[in-house]
Amino acid sequence: MSLSDPENVYAGLPPITMDTIPTDKERQITDQSWDNVSARQPPGSHENEPTVDTLISFVSTILERRLVDVVRYRMELRLAIERRRLSSDVSSQGESNDEEFGLASEGGRSTGGDLPPSQAPVLLTSICRHQLRAYVRRIASMYRDNRYHGLEHATHVTMSADKLLEMIHKGSVELTEDVDDTEINELSVHEPHNLIIANRKRPLDDSSQSTMGKNNGFTLSMDSTRNSTDDFFGRCHRPKRSKLQQSCEQRIHPDLFSKFAVTFAAFIHDVDHQGVPNTRLVLENDPIVEQHGSLSVAEKHSINVAFRALSESEFDVFRSVIFESRDDQYEMHRIVANMVLGTDIASPERAQSTRVRWGEAFNHPSPNSSLTIDIPSLGGKFHQSDVATVQASKPQLVPMQNISTTHQSKQPEWGSKKRSVRLNGGQTIEFLSECDDDDDDNDLRTTLQRSVLIETIINVADVAHAMQSWELFLFWNRRLYEELYDAFKMARSEIDPSNDWYENQLGFFKLYIIPLAGKMHECGVFGKIGCEWMKNAVSLRDRWIREGEEITKDMIASVKSI
């Protein structure tokens, strides 16, 4: 792929107003089903490679639509506040100062609240749209030509994340409908027995069953997954309307702003990825390791690259629309950083953190757990234990190193108060809030649930191909193999991915995909469709069991012949 000259590419972009109708690209994105989210047509095809301009168009359209939602909400909020002020001001003659109370769009322009349709309020000016696309092009230019961790993957993750956000609303609409139990019961939930995942002595957790072979290998019993999956499908027909679900339905500013942040994070999460895992960057003492440390180094680098580019003067208008206040800037960085760091699924520390956060948010708290508001200044410690992680080609259990971190933070001088939810075990989750210190635990837990939910969404989007169609799964599975094989040939990896590729994909489903798919139902915000990800994952796994060995042999031979 090569980046074309951006000059005249976006010439003549009209402003987006309250009356602007959806574009053909917007309708194309909306009309795609979850199973076939793709910038390629047909999905999963190795031909008809999309151009860079096509990928940029998909991402720009999604970011633009999410930003329009934020700006529209802000305008409607200002109008509601002004109307309330006028109705309560008995001395007022019904007149308002347009400069002070008009609905301000970006770029310093001001619009009235009751204009005729031909003068509908501007949501995004032409210059803002141009700068948004220029920013997307800038980030696109910094994606390397990797077979997997490249621009097309970033686009697929962005499109998948956007679709997941749409499905939250769809799930709330269809809450009262019953799941087709017949369809669920037809799923095969059996897994191959005696699948050796890695040479480790300890199971994933105390509840998992394992058997030890003569070679001291770690063998996962598939009976435990079969039982848990059966239980999962048995619960699918009883969706419960949780407080989190109700809060997600409310179109309030933090939710809309978070949705924009989700799609932004999805697009930038792998920018400047080198096509090798973090462990290799640390081993090679890459310059970014010195800058960011040895933990989640590639993810930290991507965050830094994205926000550094956004701060450039040529994106001033675009940036000013996103950040109306310093609160917005803080919140955006916090959300994006948490989500991108959470995509480092190979890190045992991140894996443990994710498990703790999920448990506190969605499971019943233990009697000794604490959920309090405090200024974050607590050092959290992890004890050494075995944590399931997923390397690019080989799922495994690895010992987690002892870490001790202390985080000091000053209270912001603006707007909302910076608070944190203190988790059992010492972790703290930071957020901005205007609530009083004596708010009950349910409100705090809802805040934590929202945070964990969007992090789960980005994790699902990052591996969406393993929960979508068979064609997409095979396409991205091969792309990942090709990238790993390239690293092996260039001596940037000591692992030949052709060894145990078939078995390792089953391990990937066992250790990561199946549990992640289960969370989409357990979180409670998707209603009946919360089962879709598990159904797809189980279907893909079962088909891989039947056909994967032959596919793997053909793929290995094909890649070696190139």
DSSP state of 220: E
DSSP state of 511: I
pTM of the predicted protein model:
0.77
pLDDT class of 134 with cuts at 50, 70, 90: very high
CB 511 within 8 A of CB 197: yes
Contacts of 111 (CB under 8 A, 6+ apart): 102, 103, 104, 105, 119, 121, 122
Counted residue by residue, the chain has a size of 562
More confident residue, 428 or 75: 75
Give the position of tokens 């994105």: 29
Could you give the count of Cα atoms lying within 13 Å of 509 in the half-sphere of its Cβ? 32
CB 449 within 8 A of CB 519: no
DSSP state of 494: S
**Which range among 105-109, 170-174, 502-506 shows the weakest confidence by mean pLDDT?**
105-109
pLDDT, residue 31, reads 97
Q: Which of 458, 138, 128, 457 is nearest to 322 (CA)?
A: 128
Quick check: bond before 42 cis, omega within 30?
yes
The two structure tokens encoding residue 95: 């007149």
Q: Which helix (H) or strand (E) holds 430?
A: strand 428-433
- Residue 220 pLDDT greater than 50, yes or no: no
pLDDT, residue 11, reads 56
pLDDT, residue 263, reads 98
- Residue 302 pLDDT greater than 90, yes or no: yes
Query: How far apart, in Å, are the Cα atoms of 394 and each of 104, 296, 484?
Result: 52, 18, 11
SS3 241: coil
pLDDT, residue 169, reads 72
pLDDT, residue 446, reads 78
Beta bridge partners of 350: none
CA angle centred on 556, ends 555 and 558, rounded to 5°: 65
More confident residue, 144 or 445: 144
- Residue 4 pLDDT greater than 80, yes or no: no
* Mean confidence (pLDDT) of the chain: 77
- Residue 414 pLDDT greater than 80, yes or no: no
pLDDT class of 156 with cuts at 50, 70, 90: very high
Beta bridge partners of 422: 428
> If you average pLDDT over residues 251-276, what whole number do you get?
87
> If you average pLDDT over residues 481-502, what whole number do you get?
97
pLDDT, residue 112, reads 44
pLDDT, residue 74, reads 94
| Strand runs labelled E in 372-411 | 373-374, 379-382, 386-390, 395-399, 403-406
- Residue 1 pLDDT greater than 60, yes or no: no
- Residue 96 pLDDT greater than 70, yes or no: no
> If you average pLDDT over residues 230-235, what whole number do you get?
52
